[in-house]
Amino acid sequence: MDITVSKVDPKLLELLVCPLTKGRLSYDREKNELISEKGRLAYPIRDGIPIMLISEARRIED
């Protein structure tokens, strides 16, 4: 399986917040996702574009 890791502009990361909690996001390079620790959600990044829809986010389980 070919996995392409997108680069995310660090300035964009400073501006984006979780749409659910309005909290900060961290970037997980390995999974290519933006993580909301407070909301326990992982937002995917597709073709370098963060998909900031709650319906598209993956729930983070303990």
Tell me the residue range of the domain where 32 lies.
10-59
Does the pTM surpass 0.75? The reply is yes
What is the structure's pLDDT at 5?
A: 52
Nearest Cα residue to 27 out of 37, 35, 19: 35
Count: domains in the chain: 1
What is the structure's pLDDT at 62?
A: 74
What is the structure's pLDDT at 22?
A: 97
Give the CATH number, domain containing residue 47.
2.20.25.10
Q: Does 3 map to a domain?
A: no
Listed as ranges, residues in the chain with pLDDT below 70 are 1-6
* Beta strand ranges found along the chain (DSSP E): 26-28, 33-36, 41-46, 49-50, 58-59
